[in-house]
Structure formats: C-alpha cells, structure tokens
Chain A
C-alpha cells in the first residue's frame, strides 16, 4: 500500500466515523427544560404587532405545520422522542408574546431548538399568534 493510498484510507475512515458520530449527536436525547432560557426584559415586553388580526393566525398555523411539527407534533403537545415542549402547557401559555417571539427568533441551539430568525419578523409574530389559539381539548379548541 502506498503512502498516498494509506492517507486516503485514513481520511475516509475518519469521515465515516465523523458522519456516524454526527447522526448520534443530532439525536439530542438528553434534552431537559432550560431554566436559563429566558427572554431579556425588554424583549419580553414587546407587543405583538399583529394582535387583533386573527386572520393572520391562519398563516401562523401554516408556518407551524411547516416549521414546528417535526419536533412539537401536529397537536403542539410535544414529542417524547424529541423531548420538546408541550406548547399548550400553562408554563408556555403564561409567557408574554414578546418572550415567545424572542424564543422563536433565537432558539436554544444547545438544547435542540433551532433559531427561526430566517423567517421574516412578521411571520415569527404570526407563529406567536397561532400559539395563542392553542387550547387543551374541551377548552374551546379552534
């Protein structure tokens, strides 16, 4: 075996090992709620510019189905295998619009929640609007 071939084989083995490691790492099986994940006061105080524009929530629902279902589920109750939050819980619904907007914008990448800053600002507010429409079954779900 030449030096060049050996070098390539080593690089290939390294690459395969890394890819498999990546797949396991991305599982995020150790997720727990992060008490340190809190919006700054000024961000939490922001009001939703779409408040009162309930038709915009329909667009928020579409965005939710596209962007959020993978981790939070169709019913927004969270997926156990993803260790994702149940968005109907009072702990979520009690947060201000500004706080939810900040969390959608920044994400919590070290805990598996990606940043959605790539969405236009108004679309992130649409998501907040839709989350506000979520209710427990039997409590006036839309």
Chain B
C-alpha cells in the first residue's frame, strides 16, 4: 500500500525542525516563491521540486531542482541542491539538535529564497547573464528544535560558503514556532477539522559575512505560515513573508504542496530482490 500520512506537518518554508522523514518514506514536494517587487524591481516566480527521503530514523536526504522566471525575461533552470540532515540524539530532549549539510550546484539567477544569508544586494545583470555565473556552494546549519506542550519552537543558524568565488563566509538565521489548531484527534475522517491545520510564524534573514558581520544591509522577513493536511498523504502550505528592511523584497508569497509515499524504499528494494 502506498500512502499514509504525515500528521501535524510543519508549516515552515525556511525553518527546519528536529522531525526527520520516516525511514523508507519519500516525500515529493513542489514549492514556489513569488517575489513582489519594489518600484524599479522586477517580480519573479521561482518554483522548485524536492525529493525528501528518510534514509534512517536519524538521517534524511533531499534533492532539489529549481528554476525561476523574472518578469520580462525567459524562464531558466537555476540548478540543484543536495541536502542531508543528521540527528545525533536518539531520544527527545528539551532542545533537539540536528546537523545540516547541503551542497548547491546553482547559478546566480537562483531566487527560491530557501534561506537568506549574507548581505542584501540586487544585481543589475539580466537573468540570462546571471544564469551563466555558476556557483558551487556549501551550506551548513545548526538546527535546534523543541516541543513545548503543543508548540514547536525552532532556531536555525546558517553558515554558507561559495566555493566558486573568493567571497567571505556568509551567515544567516531562521526562527519559527507553530502549533496545531486542535490537540485532540476527532474520531471521524474529516478534512476541515481544526486538527488538520497548523499555524505559526517564521522570522529569517541574513547576518552579513566574514567581510562584515551584522545587520547592516541585510534582508529580513517575518512570515505567518499555515499548513493544511488535505488528505492522508498530502499537505499544502502557504506563507506571506513581509520584508522588514530596505534590502528585502516587500513581500514573498510562498506556496507548497507535498505528497508522501510511505514504504517507498521497501518497494524499490523488493524490485531488486524479486520479492513481491
């Protein structure tokens, strides 16, 4: 049987919690970021696809493929990312750490804004020119996450290094909190029950780099988030992130849809073994 569900799916778009993908499960997710511009800027639409797989109970691996389209320019493929999260502690603690390591083979036209690091700076180059500038980046995060009654509280600290160019090491952060609208599960199968909704907020932004650490000329966003489990194995999310500084886009509208295939690993492995 394919399917299953991920109750109480995190509504976050940027912040990570300590909850890992279940072993052998594959999450196929599509995400989009729509940038609403200031005057003089161009709006952009940046979709990406994510394949998230639970390798073990303490190791989750994800592959991203991303693109973007800027108003007045052609759509372009902006690269791929390979992300791994490791949970060192087997048990739940008051604060649960997770180590995050990601390799990014992207180009400078990338606009998915999956994390905000370093300083803000709009480029005057066209999308076509930006897409010709490739970047190999390494990103690490320290994820700290807690469960406080029905609330999740998470803090992410980000360090990113562009391996392709002589740039400093960039820093960023993300903070988030969410909770389900209902603590008890009803006995009926319902889609509009409060228990199927989680709501919360995120705050994220850049912290400069080794060339200049701090809040000067950085982008920051405050984002209400909501997730709705629309079926036993599908969830939609929405967020409207409001820019807090001049270096931010005024609004980033984000939309996500995820579909979980449980037991994916077992089924693929059985194909190789010839078992039913």
Give the chain B neighbours of A105 by CB distance below 8 A: 92
Q: Assess whether B121 is interfacial by the CB under 8 Å rule.
A: no
A110 to chain B, nearest CB (A): 6
Most chain A beta-carbon contacts within 10 A, residue among B6, B184, B195: B184
Q: What chain A residues lie within 8 Å of B6 (beta carbons)? A: 118
Q: Are A25 and B56 in contact (CB under 8 A)?
A: yes
Query: Chain A residue with minimal CB distance to B147?
Result: A117
Determine the chain A residues whose CB is within 8 A of the CB of B76 once the complex forms.
none
Contact size range, B: 35 or more
Known contacts A59-B184, A66-B232, A122-B183; A26 and B55 CB within 8 A of each other: yes
Distance (whole angstroms) from the CB of A139 to the closest CB of chain B = 23
Give A109's nearest chain B residue, CB to CB: B57
Q: In the bound complex, do residue B187 and residue A58 qualify as a contact, i.e. CB atoms below 8 Å apart?
A: yes
Whole-angstrom distance from the CB of A107 to the nearest CB of chain B? Answer: 6
* B149 shortest CB reach to chain A, Å: 7
Say whether B54 faces chain A, with CB atoms less than 8 Å apart. yes
Q: How far is the CA of A126 from the CA of B195 in the complex (A)?
A: 13
Name the distance in Å between B59's Cβ and chain A's nearest Cβ: 8
Asked if B5 contacts A109 (CB within 8 A), the reply is no
* B183 adjacent to A26 (CB under 8 Å): no
Question: In the bound complex, how far is the Cα of B152 from the Cα of A26, in angstroms?
Answer: 27
Interface residues of B in 221-276 (CB under 8 A from A): 232, 262-263, 265-266, 268-269
Q: Scan residues 66-107 of chain B and give those whose CB is less than 8 A from a CB of chain A.
A: 82, 87, 90-92
A27 within 8 A of B: yes
Determine how close the nearest CB of chain A comes to the CB of B225; give it in whole angstroms: 15
User: In the complex, A27 Cα to B269 Cα: how many Å?
Assistant: 8
- Determine whether A28 belongs to the interface, using a CB cutoff of 8 Å to chain B: yes
Proximity string of chain B (116-129) to chain A, C-beta cutoff 8 Å, 1 when within and 0 when not: 00000000000000
